[in-house]
Amino acid sequence: MDVLICSGLAVLELLTFQSSWELDSPSIFKRFFGLIFIQYACLKFHRIVIYPNFFSTLRHLPGPKDHNLLLGQEAKKFKADGPAAVQLQWMRTWPDAPFIRYISFAGKEVLLANSLAAHKAVLQTHVYDFVKPPFFARLVGEITGVGLLFSEGEAHKRERRLLAGPFSVPSMRKLLPVFRTKARALSHVFEELLAEKQYATLEAIETFSKSTMDTIGVTVLGIELDTISSMYPLGFLELYNRVLHQGFLGQLIWVINAFLPIRSIIPLEANRKFIQTTADLRKMLREIIQQRTTDLANETFKRENGESRDLLTYMLEEAELRRQETGKEIWSINDIIGHLLNFTSAGHESTATTLAWSLYVLATHPAIQDRLRLEITSLLETDQEPDYDSISALPYLHNFVREVLRVYPPSYMAQREATRDLVIEGVSIPKGTQIDLNIPLVHQHPLIWGPDAPQFDPDRWDRLSGDAATPFAFEAFLQGPRTCPGRNFALVEVKTFLVELVPRWHFHGIERRGGELLASGEERLGKGVKLANPSLTYRPADELLVRFGRVKKLH
């Protein structure tokens, strides 16, 4: 667009100031392209240097001033110890500011929401005055799909209503046996790893990723993944992991593509591999959808499978019902693929990461582990297969899971762009301004959670007061109309796995490479475990090795 504007101006200038217009004159073309270059350079200089430093209405807001001319603060964020490390440093420098201003690529001004009031305004009060920025859609959308995540306005409201059923409490009651079966299958994996040894070591991220993806296969796709994996060169989990966890070069292309669309023109193998993998993943989903559509037209299939509870079957049945009522299609096959990818990423990667961090906490906080085991064991003594209500009623388990999500939120970032001029907390925000919502910033803010905010303490949930007692102090699933619809799904799945694992297995510590356990006090984030950066989720950069053994039974 900038090049077109400069080209148009160059034509006008030549028509205005050229005394003798000779179309075939070589000098005309030299002047034409020279004018384009000069005007483009001036335009970029104004946007990168002049406007943000001397004319922007946001320039007086607090924020870092040591930005790179072209990269702003992005290089510093990329090199940081974790994906939220730089933002947390800014928060501690300007704790009282509702917004912190920083410069991103090419002089772009970004506001980091730094107060609960600012977060509430973006997520609730003015929720539909903000949209996902185009670069964020490229950053996240090519991995997680479009679906509900990137729908806006009335379309978002409609999609929320249509997809409410699979995530309701009655649906969670029906899904509990699936969660329990997969949790017991995982416990069997623990048994095989340990065998007759006193203790063994497991890699938590990989172990839970496989288990939660198996769960997703049944609850979202309505199929055991081993069944479809045998039909393709690469299984669903391997394809998805290739998309989600790229090498350094793949991650670099992924980040650059978010700001400058280069995906279609980069000839490197890492880029070609990513494009092919995403195509294969979508092809697999398309074939699953087509087969399920055929199955649902078969009365025998419907009779044998009974009431649907997986997301895909629900969506296809809902689409057919709406088509019969209105004569219109509510979802295309690409729409359904987008929703499936949304819920696969939300229900797999984030849940696996939460469970892995749960084991990390249990292995490094023996007193918390003992207390949680005592509560769960007391329940199992009276009910070997507790139902949804019994599990939900365990207070310490509920506090423990919320604290894991507070200190280690699986999704750590959301970004919005203002669609009109707004005033929030006394700050005039021009149309087009990008707002960053950094979840660790809220979860570790000392003015919200107190000076001990970075510490892991499940009991804090029993003594909430002030800002910490408000909904927007806890944003692991965001809040407001755009809160994650799978919130209850994730909580029930994590709790069901912990109810199965904690009474049977004791977690002794976190191993370094070579078998050495982390020393006492090193468990604090940033000392014992390095975070992946860049990453879509708040996860360890390397393996998370957990040493475990059987729980000794008292006689």
Residue 303 pLDDT class (50, 70, 90 cuts): low
The residue among 406, 342, 312, 403 whose CA lies nearest residue 536 is: 342
In a domain, 280, yes or no: yes
The residue ranking higher by pLDDT, 361 or 213, is 361
pLDDT of residue 15: 57
pLDDT of residue 521: 53
Residue 326 pLDDT class (50, 70, 90 cuts): confident
What average pLDDT does range 90-118 have in this prediction? 95
In a domain, 267, yes or no: yes
pLDDT at 328 over 90: no
Token pair in block for residue 479: 């809040």
The residue among 474, 468, 540, 450 whose CA lies nearest residue 95 is: 450
What average pLDDT does range 45-61 have in this prediction? 85
pLDDT of residue 91: 97
CB 489 within 8 A of CB 348: no
Helix count and strand count (H, E) for the chain: 22, 10
Say whether the peptide bond before residue 534 is cis (omega within 30 degrees of 0). yes
Token pair in block for residue 466: 């002030």
Residue 180 CB coordination number (10 Å):
17
Strand duo 422-424 + 427-429: pairing: antiparallel
pLDDT digits over 357-382, tens only?
A: 999 999 999 999 999 999 999 999 98
Give the range of the structural domain holding residue 438, as residue numbers without chain letter. Answer: 141-550
**Whole-angstrom distance, CA of residue 72 vs CA of residue 434:** 14
In a domain, 18, yes or no: no
Q: Judging by beta carbons within 10 Å of its beta carbon (0-12, 13-18, 19+), is residue 62 exposed, middle or buried?
A: middle
In a domain, 503, yes or no: yes
- The SS3 call for residue 99 is strand
Give how far Cα 508 sits from Cα of 29, 50, 544, 551, Å.
Answer: 74, 57, 13, 11
State the pTM of this model: 0.85
Residue 533: partners with Cβ closer than 8 Å, 6 or more residues away: 78, 80, 81, 82, 83, 85, 541
Domain total for the chain?
1
pLDDT at 22 over 60: no
In a domain, 22, yes or no: no
Token pair in block for residue 465: 């007061």
In a domain, 250, yes or no: yes
pLDDT digits over 468-508, tens only?
A: 999 999 999 999 988 888 889 899 999 999 999 999 999 99
In a domain, 72, yes or no: no
For the CA atoms of the chain, what is the radius of gyration?
A: 26
**Residue 512 sits in a domain of what CATH number?**
1.10.630.10
Place of tokens 């749960």: 358
The residue ranking higher by pLDDT, 329 or 158, is 329
pLDDT of residue 274: 82
In a domain, 415, yes or no: yes
Q: Which of 172-186, 308-322, 423-437, 450-464 has the lowest mean pLDDT?
A: 308-322
CB 509 within 8 A of CB 518: yes
Q: Judging by beta carbons within 10 Å of its beta carbon (0-12, 13-18, 19+), is residue 256 exposed, middle or buried?
A: middle
What average pLDDT does range 174-196 have in this prediction? 93
The residue ranking higher by pLDDT, 137 or 416, is 416
